[in-house]
Structures are given as structure tokens and as C-alpha cells.
Amino acid sequence: MYHGYSCNEEVVLMETCQCEAKWEELEKIIDAHRGQPSALIEVLHQSQELVGYLPRNVQVAIADGLGLSLSQVYSVVSFYNHFTTKPKGKYQVSVCMGTACFVKGAPAILERLEQELGTKVGDTTADGRFTINQVRCLGCCALGPVMTVNQKAHGRLTPDTALEILKEYQ
């Protein structure tokens, strides 16, 4: 328990219930910067690396420890794309929506992935395996349409080939 928040307060705080150990590690991260509001981004990075995302109870603990309001912490979390308040899947699937990929069929790939995986962009599948992301440009325009799975690029895709690639990760 940390600052009155139990591990069960967030449905998926950790993959395994090592809650007390995780909270102890979180306390160490916060204690190393206690009362130092300027350390917020560093503490957020370390906390997200530990927990996997930044649920509300983690943000509350960080705010308390650094002497900030919850709204100050949340404004930084929500401003930077790197930080997330939702659990991420084991596999991050990013579909490029840059101009070259878009005109070559990326929207159809994204739509098909959403249908087949039963989730929407920015969300994670119920089994925690995949998170679908939409990105502006992956820099592989000649290979478009492109998607990455945990930063491994796959190009010249169709909706069918994109699904075949994801089968390799199941």
C-alpha cells in the first residue's frame, strides 16, 4: 500500500501481483527526488519503466512525493506522447499514416487490424497481447504501407499480410 492506495485500486497495475515489491521500488524512485518538482519528467520515466504505464494512483504518489498537484503531474503525462495512462500490450503495433503510406492503403490496414483484434487505435486487446497505434511517419516511405511491431518494420503491406505478420506474435 502506498499513500492509501492499494494495488487492487488499478485493475492491471502489474502483470503479476508483485504489488508490494513494485510499490517499494516506486517509493525508492520518488524518495530519490522527494520535494524536487523539477525532477518530474525523470520520475515519470522511471515510474513508467517500472509499472509499464502511469495509472492515477501512481500519479498521485508522484505528486505527493515531489510536492506537486495531481493536475500538474497529469498535465505533463498527457502532454508527452511517450507517457501513457493505459496499460500497453506485449506487442506495440504501429501503423504509419504518413502521406505515402496513407495513399497506398494504410487506412484499410488499420481498419482491418481493429476489426480482427477487436480493439481501437490507442487501446490494448483484452488478452494484453497487442496495442494498436497510429503514427504520422515511420520514415520508410518507399516501403509503404508500413507497420512496426515493437519497432521491427514490415513494409509493402496489405490488410491480409499485416494480419499474417501478427500471427507470428501469437
What are the tens digits of pLDDT across the range 98-152? 999 999 999 999 999 999 999 999 999 999 999 999 999 999 999 999 999 999 9
Close Cβ partners of 22 (under 8 Å, ≥ 6 residues apart): 7, 13, 14, 50, 51
Q: Any idea which fold 91-167 has?
A: Glutaredoxin (3.40.30)
d(CA 93, CA 139): 16
> What pTM was computed for the model?
0.69
Instruction: Say if strands 91-96 and 130-135 run parallel, antiparallel, or are unpaired.
Output: parallel
Contact criterion met (CB below 8 Å) for 98 and 136:
yes
* Cell numbers representing residue 50 in the block: 517500472
Annotated binding residues for [2Fe-2S] cluster: 96, 101, 137, 141
- Return the bridge partners of 133, or none: 94
Annotated binding residues: 96, 101, 137, 141
Sketch the domain layout of the chain as residue ranges.
Answer: 7-79, 91-167
Half-sphere exposure at residue 67, Cβ-oriented, CA atoms within 13 angstroms: 8
What would the pLDDT profile of 67-108 be if each residue is shown by its tens digit? Answer: 999 999 999 999 998 899 999 999 999 999 999 999 999 999
